Amino acid sequence: MDIVVCIKWVPNTTSVNIDQKTGTLIRSGVPSVINPHDLHALEIALTLKDRFGGSVTAITMAPPSAKLGLEHAIGMGCDRAILLTDMVYAGADTLATSYTLAKTISKLKFDLILVGQETVDSSTAHIGAQVASWLHIPYLYYVVDVNYLGDGKIWAKRLLEDAYEEYELTLPALLAAAMHSTHPRRVKLSYKLRCKSEQIIEVWSNKTLGLEANCVGLKGSPTIVRKTSFVPEVPRKKIVCKPKDVEQAAEWLIKRLIEERLLKI
Protein backbone atom coordinates (compact mmCIF):
# COMPACT_ATOMS: atom_id res chain seq x y z
CA MET A 1 0.00 0.00 0.00
CA ASP A 2 1.34 3.46 -0.87
CA ILE A 3 0.54 5.91 1.90
CA VAL A 4 0.87 9.70 2.12
CA VAL A 5 0.99 11.29 5.56
CA CYS A 6 0.33 15.02 5.98
CA ILE A 7 2.27 16.54 8.84
CA LYS A 8 2.17 20.12 10.05
CA TRP A 9 5.18 21.99 11.43
CA VAL A 10 3.80 23.92 14.39
CA PRO A 11 5.19 26.23 17.06
CA ASN A 12 5.80 24.30 20.25
CA THR A 13 2.69 25.48 22.07
CA THR A 14 4.24 24.93 25.47
CA SER A 15 6.49 27.91 24.73
CA VAL A 16 4.34 30.09 22.47
CA ASN A 17 2.79 33.45 23.38
CA ILE A 18 0.29 35.72 21.71
CA ASP A 19 0.93 39.37 20.93
CA GLN A 20 -1.94 41.01 22.84
CA LYS A 21 -1.92 44.05 20.51
CA THR A 22 -1.96 42.33 17.11
CA GLY A 23 -3.55 39.05 18.22
CA THR A 24 -1.00 37.01 16.26
CA LEU A 25 1.32 34.26 17.46
CA ILE A 26 4.77 35.42 18.48
CA ARG A 27 6.72 32.88 16.43
CA SER A 28 10.20 34.40 16.55
CA GLY A 29 12.49 32.46 18.82
CA VAL A 30 9.83 29.80 19.35
CA PRO A 31 11.04 26.30 18.45
CA SER A 32 8.77 24.31 16.13
CA VAL A 33 7.88 20.64 16.26
CA ILE A 34 5.82 18.16 14.25
CA ASN A 35 2.20 18.60 15.31
CA PRO A 36 2.10 15.95 18.10
CA HIS A 37 -1.16 14.40 16.81
CA ASP A 38 0.48 13.78 13.42
CA LEU A 39 2.93 11.35 15.03
CA HIS A 40 -0.04 8.97 15.41
CA ALA A 41 -0.82 9.31 11.70
CA LEU A 42 2.82 8.49 10.95
CA GLU A 43 2.78 5.52 13.32
CA ILE A 44 -0.39 4.05 11.76
CA ALA A 45 1.08 4.47 8.27
CA LEU A 46 4.41 2.88 9.20
CA THR A 47 2.70 -0.04 10.96
CA LEU A 48 0.66 -0.69 7.79
CA LYS A 49 3.87 -0.60 5.76
CA ASP A 50 5.58 -3.02 8.18
CA ARG A 51 2.69 -5.47 7.81
CA PHE A 52 1.68 -5.12 4.18
CA GLY A 53 4.65 -3.48 2.40
CA GLY A 54 4.48 -0.43 0.15
CA SER A 55 5.77 3.05 0.88
CA VAL A 56 5.16 6.01 3.16
CA THR A 57 5.64 9.59 1.97
CA ALA A 58 5.46 12.49 4.43
CA ILE A 59 4.42 15.91 3.11
CA THR A 60 4.18 19.30 4.72
CA MET A 61 3.35 22.80 3.53
CA ALA A 62 5.55 25.02 5.63
CA PRO A 63 8.54 27.36 5.77
CA PRO A 64 11.99 25.85 4.95
CA SER A 65 12.74 25.16 8.64
CA ALA A 66 10.18 22.32 8.48
CA LYS A 67 12.90 20.21 6.85
CA LEU A 68 13.76 19.26 10.42
CA GLY A 69 10.28 17.80 10.90
CA LEU A 70 10.58 15.82 7.68
CA GLU A 71 13.97 14.50 8.86
CA HIS A 72 12.15 13.25 11.95
CA ALA A 73 9.57 11.52 9.73
CA ILE A 74 12.36 9.88 7.68
CA GLY A 75 14.01 8.90 10.97
CA MET A 76 10.80 7.11 11.99
CA GLY A 77 10.90 5.12 8.73
CA CYS A 78 9.21 7.14 5.95
CA ASP A 79 10.61 6.44 2.50
CA ARG A 80 10.16 9.86 1.01
CA ALA A 81 9.44 13.41 2.21
CA ILE A 82 8.20 16.48 0.36
CA LEU A 83 8.43 20.04 1.62
CA LEU A 84 6.00 22.42 -0.10
CA THR A 85 7.43 25.82 0.40
CA ASP A 86 6.89 29.04 -1.49
CA MET A 87 6.10 32.62 -0.51
CA VAL A 88 2.84 32.36 -2.50
CA TYR A 89 1.60 29.71 -0.04
CA ALA A 90 1.98 32.06 2.98
CA GLY A 91 -1.13 33.22 4.83
CA ALA A 92 -3.23 30.27 3.65
CA ASP A 93 -6.52 29.48 5.40
CA THR A 94 -7.76 25.89 5.54
CA LEU A 95 -9.32 26.05 2.05
CA ALA A 96 -6.08 27.16 0.39
CA THR A 97 -3.99 24.79 2.53
CA SER A 98 -6.14 21.76 1.72
CA TYR A 99 -6.21 22.69 -1.99
CA THR A 100 -2.40 22.86 -2.14
CA LEU A 101 -2.03 19.57 -0.25
CA ALA A 102 -4.63 17.83 -2.43
CA LYS A 103 -2.99 19.06 -5.64
CA THR A 104 0.37 17.76 -4.36
CA ILE A 105 -1.06 14.36 -3.39
CA SER A 106 -2.74 14.03 -6.76
CA LYS A 107 0.75 14.09 -8.32
CA LEU A 108 1.80 11.09 -6.16
CA LYS A 109 0.96 7.40 -6.34
CA PHE A 110 -1.23 6.76 -3.27
CA ASP A 111 -3.79 4.33 -1.89
CA LEU A 112 -4.27 5.89 1.52
CA ILE A 113 -3.81 9.35 3.07
CA LEU A 114 -3.33 9.82 6.80
CA VAL A 115 -3.63 13.07 8.72
CA GLY A 116 -3.70 13.99 12.38
CA GLN A 117 -7.02 14.66 14.08
CA GLU A 118 -6.25 18.37 14.40
CA THR A 119 -3.34 20.69 15.00
CA VAL A 120 -2.24 22.23 18.27
CA ASP A 121 -1.88 25.73 16.79
CA SER A 122 -5.07 26.22 14.75
CA SER A 123 -7.13 23.13 15.67
CA THR A 124 -9.82 23.50 13.02
CA ALA A 125 -9.75 19.77 12.08
CA HIS A 126 -10.81 20.91 8.58
CA ILE A 127 -7.84 19.78 6.55
CA GLY A 128 -8.51 16.02 6.43
CA ALA A 129 -12.12 16.39 5.28
CA GLN A 130 -11.23 19.14 2.83
CA VAL A 131 -8.33 17.22 1.22
CA ALA A 132 -10.60 14.18 0.82
CA SER A 133 -13.32 16.38 -0.70
CA TRP A 134 -10.93 17.93 -3.24
CA LEU A 135 -9.83 14.40 -4.22
CA HIS A 136 -13.40 12.97 -4.15
CA ILE A 137 -12.43 10.10 -1.85
CA PRO A 138 -14.07 8.79 1.36
CA TYR A 139 -12.71 9.81 4.76
CA LEU A 140 -13.03 8.80 8.38
CA TYR A 141 -12.00 10.70 11.54
CA TYR A 142 -10.96 9.55 15.08
CA VAL A 143 -9.33 6.37 13.75
CA VAL A 144 -7.55 4.16 16.29
CA ASP A 145 -6.88 0.98 14.31
CA VAL A 146 -6.58 -0.01 10.64
CA ASN A 147 -6.17 -3.27 8.76
CA TYR A 148 -5.79 -4.04 5.07
CA LEU A 149 -8.43 -6.50 3.90
CA GLY A 150 -7.07 -7.05 0.37
CA ASP A 151 -8.93 -6.29 -2.87
CA GLY A 152 -8.42 -2.55 -2.39
CA LYS A 153 -10.35 -2.43 0.91
CA ILE A 154 -9.42 -1.46 4.44
CA TRP A 155 -11.07 -1.99 7.82
CA ALA A 156 -10.86 0.92 10.25
CA LYS A 157 -12.00 1.32 13.83
CA ARG A 158 -12.77 4.72 15.29
CA LEU A 159 -13.37 5.91 18.80
CA LEU A 160 -16.32 8.17 19.53
CA GLU A 161 -17.08 9.56 22.99
CA ASP A 162 -18.54 6.35 24.35
CA ALA A 163 -18.38 3.81 21.54
CA TYR A 164 -16.19 2.22 18.91
CA GLU A 165 -17.39 2.08 15.31
CA GLU A 166 -15.98 -0.22 12.65
CA TYR A 167 -15.95 0.63 8.94
CA GLU A 168 -14.92 -0.92 5.67
CA LEU A 169 -13.62 1.61 3.14
CA THR A 170 -12.66 1.25 -0.48
CA LEU A 171 -9.27 2.71 -1.35
CA PRO A 172 -8.19 5.38 -2.06
CA ALA A 173 -9.39 6.88 1.20
CA LEU A 174 -8.30 9.33 3.89
CA LEU A 175 -8.09 8.59 7.62
CA ALA A 176 -7.59 11.04 10.46
CA ALA A 177 -5.76 9.36 13.34
CA ALA A 178 -7.32 9.89 16.76
CA MET A 179 -5.31 11.65 19.42
CA HIS A 180 -3.37 9.23 21.65
CA SER A 181 -4.25 6.31 19.36
CA THR A 182 -0.71 4.85 19.17
CA HIS A 183 2.71 4.88 20.78
CA PRO A 184 4.70 6.61 18.04
CA ARG A 185 8.00 4.88 17.41
CA ARG A 186 11.33 6.52 18.11
CA VAL A 187 13.60 7.90 15.43
CA LYS A 188 16.31 5.48 14.26
CA LEU A 189 19.66 7.14 13.72
CA SER A 190 20.44 4.87 10.75
CA TYR A 191 17.22 6.01 9.02
CA LYS A 192 17.82 9.66 9.86
CA LEU A 193 21.35 9.51 8.43
CA ARG A 194 19.76 8.82 5.03
CA CYS A 195 18.78 12.51 5.01
CA LYS A 196 22.48 13.40 5.01
CA SER A 197 23.61 10.88 2.41
CA GLU A 198 20.68 10.94 -0.04
CA GLN A 199 18.54 13.74 -1.48
CA ILE A 200 15.60 12.19 0.32
CA ILE A 201 13.77 15.40 1.20
CA GLU A 202 12.35 16.97 -1.95
CA VAL A 203 11.57 20.68 -1.94
CA TRP A 204 8.63 21.61 -4.16
CA SER A 205 7.83 25.23 -4.89
CA ASN A 206 4.90 26.58 -6.88
CA LYS A 207 7.06 26.12 -9.98
CA THR A 208 6.78 22.37 -9.36
CA LEU A 209 3.04 22.44 -8.69
CA GLY A 210 2.09 25.22 -11.13
CA LEU A 211 -1.00 26.26 -9.14
CA GLU A 212 -2.86 29.51 -9.91
CA ALA A 213 -1.64 32.22 -7.50
CA ASN A 214 -5.30 33.16 -6.85
CA CYS A 215 -6.06 29.70 -5.42
CA VAL A 216 -3.21 29.47 -2.89
CA GLY A 217 -1.85 31.38 0.08
CA LEU A 218 -3.52 34.58 1.25
CA LYS A 219 -5.03 35.31 -2.20
CA GLY A 220 -6.77 31.93 -2.24
CA SER A 221 -8.08 32.31 1.32
CA PRO A 222 -11.65 33.56 1.73
CA THR A 223 -11.37 33.50 5.55
CA ILE A 224 -10.54 36.84 7.17
CA VAL A 225 -9.71 37.18 10.86
CA ARG A 226 -11.60 40.36 11.81
CA LYS A 227 -10.88 40.42 15.50
CA THR A 228 -9.04 38.43 18.13
CA SER A 229 -10.42 38.51 21.68
CA PHE A 230 -8.69 37.29 24.79
CA VAL A 231 -10.23 35.51 27.71
CA PRO A 232 -9.52 37.75 30.74
CA GLU A 233 -6.90 36.28 33.01
CA VAL A 234 -8.40 34.90 36.23
CA PRO A 235 -6.34 35.96 39.25
CA ARG A 236 -5.26 32.90 41.22
CA LYS A 237 -4.98 32.91 45.01
CA LYS A 238 -2.17 30.33 44.90
CA ILE A 239 -2.98 28.81 48.30
CA VAL A 240 -1.22 25.52 48.94
CA CYS A 241 -2.52 22.94 51.42
CA LYS A 242 0.14 20.88 53.16
CA PRO A 243 -1.82 18.21 54.99
CA LYS A 244 -0.54 15.36 57.12
CA ASP A 245 -2.99 12.89 55.63
CA VAL A 246 -5.88 12.59 53.17
CA GLU A 247 -8.58 13.19 55.81
CA GLN A 248 -6.96 16.43 56.92
CA ALA A 249 -6.64 17.50 53.27
CA ALA A 250 -10.33 16.77 52.62
CA GLU A 251 -11.40 18.70 55.74
CA TRP A 252 -9.20 21.64 54.75
CA LEU A 253 -10.55 21.63 51.18
CA ILE A 254 -14.20 21.52 52.27
CA LYS A 255 -13.61 24.38 54.71
CA ARG A 256 -12.00 26.50 51.98
CA LEU A 257 -14.79 25.76 49.49
CA ILE A 258 -17.43 26.81 52.06
CA GLU A 259 -15.47 29.99 52.84
CA GLU A 260 -15.31 30.79 49.13
CA ARG A 261 -19.08 30.11 48.88
CA LEU A 262 -18.43 27.40 46.32
CA LEU A 263 -19.99 24.71 48.50
CA LYS A 264 -23.08 24.73 50.75
CA ILE A 265 -23.76 22.13 53.43
Ligand X SMILES: Cc1cc2nc3c(=O)[nH]c(=O)nc-3n(C[C@H](O)[C@H](O)[C@H](O)COP(=O)(O)OP(=O)(O)OC[C@H]3O[C@@H](n4cnc5c(N)ncnc54)[C@H](O)[C@@H]3O)c2cc1C
CA-CA distance, 133 to 126, in Å (whole number)? 11
For residue 182, state whether it binds ligand X (rule: CB under 6 A).
Answer: no
Of 189, 224, 231, 246, the residue at the interface with ligand X (CB under 6 A) is 224
CA-CA distance, 94 to 82, in Å (whole number)? 19
For residue 38, state whether it binds ligand X (rule: CB under 6 A).
Answer: yes
For residue 206, state whether it binds ligand X (rule: CB under 6 A).
Answer: no
The percent helix, strand, coil of the chain (3-state, each to 5) is 30, 25, 45
- Other Cβ atoms less than 10 A from the Cβ of 197: the count is 7
Site string for ligand X, 128-167 (x = CB under 6 A): x---------------------------------------
CA-CA distance, 209 to 4, in Å (whole number)? 17
Which residues from 55-94 bind ligand X, rule CB under 6 A?
60-62, 90-94
| Site stretch for ligand X (CB under 6 A), options 49-57, 147-155, 156-164, 218-226 | 218-226
Report in angstroms how near the CB of residue 86 gets to ligand X at its nearest: 12
* Helix axes 127-135 and 94-105, enclosed angle (nearest 10): 50
Question: Which uninterrupted H or E stretch holds 207?
Answer: helix 206-209
Of 12, 17, 65, 124, the residue at the interface with ligand X (CB under 6 A) is 124
List Cα–Cα distances, 177 to 39, 73, 119, in angstroms.
Answer: 9, 16, 12
Cβ contacts of 176 within 8 Å, gap of 6 or more: 41, 114, 115, 116, 117, 125, 128, 139, 140, 141, 142, 143
Site string for ligand X, 88-117 (x = CB under 6 A): --xxxxx--x---x-------------xx-
Distance spanning both ends of the chain, measured CA to CA:
63
For residue 205, state whether it binds ligand X (rule: CB under 6 A).
Answer: no
Torsion of CA 170, 172, 176, 182, to 10 degrees: 80
Report in angstroms how near the CB of residue 34 gets to ligand X at its nearest: 9
| Site stretch for ligand X (CB under 6 A), options 138-146, 182-190, 199-207, 220-228 | 220-228
For residue 28, state whether it binds ligand X (rule: CB under 6 A).
Answer: no
| Site stretch for ligand X (CB under 6 A), options 45-53, 102-110, 118-126, 232-240 | 118-126
Residue 21 or 237 having the CB closest to ligand X: 21
| Residue sitting closest to ligand X (CB) | 116
Q: Which residues lie near ligand X (CB under 6 A)?
A: 6-8, 35, 37-38, 41, 60-62, 90-94, 97, 101, 115-116, 118-119, 121-128, 221, 223-225
